[in-house]
Amino acid sequence: MDFNSLKDKLKDHGLDLAEDATRLLVEDVLDWVAEEVIKTENKYDDMLVAIIPMIKPALLKAVDKIDGEES
């Protein structure tokens, strides 16, 4: 099977746009979680705020591979 031809076909259907949208979604969700966690009285979930900067680059790197290419 030629996966490059599949990738080209999917690009015609907006695979690049899907990667861009997913990147925005990941960034916005992580930002929202950090903002909302601070508002709660539960101090255990505050650990999420400390972890987000550590996991965000890894998540965005994975998102960058959606179209089969790293930019």
Query: Do the domain assignments include residue 71?
Result: no
pTM across the whole model: 0.77
Residue 30, domain extent: 3-63
Query: Do the domain assignments include residue 27?
Result: yes
**Residue 34: is its pLDDT beyond 80?**
yes
B/e letters for 31-66, b = 16+ CB within 10 Å, e = fewer, are eeebeebeeeeeeeeeeeeeeeeeeeeebeeebeeb
Query: Do the domain assignments include residue 17?
Result: yes
Instruction: Provide the number of structural domains found in the chain.
Output: 1
Query: Do the domain assignments include residue 68?
Result: no
Where does the pLDDT of residue 13 fall: very low under 50, low under 70, confident under 90, or very high at 90 and above?
A: confident
Query: Do the domain assignments include residue 56?
Result: yes
Structure tokens at 49: 């705020």
Query: Do the domain assignments include residue 69?
Result: no
